C-alpha cells in the first residue's frame, strides 16, 4: 500500500489544520504522513487545540505553527494531497506544489473565534475536532489507490461538503 503525504492548510495554522495533522497521523499512520501549515502563520498553537487533542489521547509532540512556504521548497516532501480547512486559505493563491497534488476544500468554522466561557470555547474546539475526525475517517475509508484521479477528486470534494 502506498503511503501518501497530505498537507492541511488554514490561514494561521494554529488550530484546525494542526488538529487535522494530529488526527490523520493518529488514524492513518500506515497510509498517510500528515503535515499542516498556514498562509499567514500566527507562530503559536492555540492552547485549546492542544487541550482538545490531549483529551482525545492524540500526540501533540512536534506540533507547531508554520508557513506553507516550508512545503514549497525543493527539499520539502512532495505532497499527494493539499486540503484547506478554512475559507480564507481556500481563496488565497497557494504556492505551486511540486507533483500536482490533489486538492480540496473542507471548510471548518474557526473555533478560536468562539466567545464566552472556557467551556464554550472548549466546545467550539471539540466540534471542529469532531468534524475533522469524521472527514478524515471518511478519507481513510476510500480505496485511494484504486480510484482514478477524477473519481478521487469528486470524493474529496464530497467529503468537504459533508
Domains in the chain with CATH codes: 4-152 (3.40.50.2300)
Tracing cell 495533522 back to the chain, one arrives at 21
How does pLDDT run across 23-51, given as a tens digit for each residue? Answer: 999 999 999 999 999 989 999 999 999 99
Residue 2 has what pLDDT? Answer: 81
pTM of the predicted model, to two decimals?
Answer: 0.93
Question: Please, what is the angle between helix 47-55 and helix 16-27, to 10°?
Answer: 20
Look at residue 94 in the predicted model and tell me its pLDDT: 60
Give the integer Cα–Cα distance in Å for 159 and 58: 22
Task: Please report, for residues 10, 19, 134, the alpha-carbon distance to residue 76 in angstroms, rounded to integers and kept in the order given.
Answer: 19, 21, 28
Average pLDDT over residues 122-138: 97
Give residue-wise pLDDT tens across range 78-124.
Answer: 999 999 998 655 555 566 677 789 999 999 999 999 999 989 999 99
Amino acid at each position: 500500500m502506498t503511503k501518501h503525504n497530505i498537507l492541511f492548510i488554514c490561514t494561521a495554522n494554529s488550530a484546525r489544520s494542526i488538529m487535522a495533522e494530529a488526527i490523520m497521523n493518529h488514524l492513518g499512520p500506515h497510509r498517510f504522513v500528515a503535515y499542516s501549515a498556514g498562509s499567514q502563520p500566527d507562530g503559536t498553537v492555540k492552547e485549546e487545540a492542544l487541550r482538545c487533542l490531549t483529551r482525545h489521547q492524540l500526540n501533540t509532540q512536534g506540533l507547531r505553527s508554520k508557513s506553507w512556504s516550508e512545503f514549497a521548497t525543493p527539499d520539502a516532501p512532495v505532497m499527494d494531497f493539499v486540503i484547506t480547512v478554512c475559507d480564507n486559505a481556500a481563496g488565497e493563491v497557494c504556492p505551486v506544489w511540486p507533483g500536482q497534488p490533489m486538492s480540496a476544500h473542507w471548510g471548518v468554522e474557526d473555533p478560536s473565534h468562539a466567545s464566552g466561557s472556557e467551556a464554550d470555547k472548549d466546545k467550539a474546539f471539540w466540534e471542529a475536532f469532531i468534524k475533522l475526525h469524521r472527514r478524515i475517517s471518511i478519507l481513510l475509508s476510500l480505496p485511494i489507490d484504486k480510484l482514478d484521479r477524477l473519481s478521487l477528486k469528486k470524493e474529496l470534494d464530497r467529503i468537504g461538503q459533508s
